[in-house]
Structure 1
């Protein structure tokens, strides 16, 4: 178990102390400074370092455990939790892994990126407020040199640490988010649509050709994390999920 530096927990002076402690530890986890398996300082150490009462520190840690950020164990202590694994049809999928399972070479290109307040059409498409600060990306994923899926994504800047420094040249946005953000709720929809002009050109298919559109939104508690539209050329893809009486198997 990796140990943490106690002085890394810094309060920002805004709001109740328990919530400042919760945010301070949450930011260390989400940023990757405290990776999964890292030992979280015990309550008495946090009390002394931050000048907080045991009840205040306890409340912050209980909330972090409810959010799935930490795991509290009586004998072995508290550690940073691992993000949930992703491998089923309706889970958060890794596109590179998806391509590798097809036995093909994966590649991707970031076609565009804009940071700041969303353009009106982007806000409408993703249900954003014009005051939201997001990173808007368009990415083309390839399998065996051919277009595999066209991704359009918005990432909420306030919910993801380290976003400004990442260019996604080596790791595509979805995989990067799996490692650098946490989510507690997801909404997932699949529909059939016809390819529009620019989309058809990028996917190297005819305008109007059937496509599978996968739309997904994720939240961490009540904070939006990301929203994505994944457009798959219909004839090249199908989604398969196996289910049992207690969920996916």
Structure 2
């Protein structure tokens, strides 16, 4: 076994066993070269292969870290990000950025609305940026909820049933502020999820969520129809 392969396999083993969790800092190239008695170029080759396989992230001037595996969400559902992140074994936290009445020029919600902006965090790292409008005509109790402490999506799913939903999904380039909040590099594409939810034909909420492209997958599964079925 070559030194590069040994380094690669041993680091991969620590990650897959859970000994090194997502976000764990990998020893530096210099430290690994000293540990394995090899050249830094050999270490760099091993880390490059780990990065290509998605097990680690190499950040310029910051080092290498165990990667966060993408969260998978069914595109035909309305997911609770707190549940998805917890199911992956990571701590979830909601960080509110602002909670205020929506401006009258925002036409996504007819009538009075509450605008809530915040950041979803997984393992204390940015996972998704959210801006949500909640109809106060349809959900008047939302005006009394402390969304500084509880994510609005989690509260809505627990209290307000929905009957219709529309997703619009696209790849976008984040603004400089969005990239900074998400910890994304300027050249990284992000996944934008634009969703409107109705109850009996009346809008309940409209949300725009922005995910780092390497942290979230939307998945749809279909079965071929049986001949004769429409």
TM-score band, normalised by shorter chain: 0.5 to 0.7
CA contact under 8 A between 1:195 and 1:206: conserved in structure 2? no
**Residue 168 of structure 1: how far off its partner (Å):** 2.1
Aligned Cα root-mean-square deviation (Å): 1.9
Q: Which 5+ residue runs of structure 1 have no aligned equivalent?
A: 1-86
Give the TM-score, by structure 1 length. Answer: 0.57
* Deviant stretches of 4+, over 6 Å: none
| Other-structure match for 2:173 | 194
CA contact under 8 A between 2:99 and 2:147: conserved in structure 1? no
Match of 2:123 among 121, 138, 144: 144
Q: Measure, in 1, the Cα distance between the counterparts of 2:131 and 2:88.
A: 23
Q: Measure, in 2, the Cα distance between the counterparts of 1:108 and 1:135.
A: 17
State the structure with more CA Rg.
2
Q: Which has the higher contact order (CA 8 A, sep 6+)?
A: 2
Kindly indicate whether residue 201 of structure 2 is the aligned counterpart of residue 216 of structure 1. no
Aligned residue pairs: how many?
153
Alignment of structure 1 residues 10-25 onto 2, 5 Å: none
Match of 1:157 among 133, 136, 147: 136
Match of 2:209 among 208, 217, 230: 230
Match of 1:92 among 70, 73, 78: 78
Q: Which 5+ residue runs of structure 2 have no aligned equivalent?
A: 1-72, 226-230
Q: Measure, in 1, the Cα distance between the counterparts of 2:97 and 2:130.
A: 10
CA contact under 8 A between 1:161 and 1:180: conserved in structure 2? no
| Other-structure match for 1:118 | 103
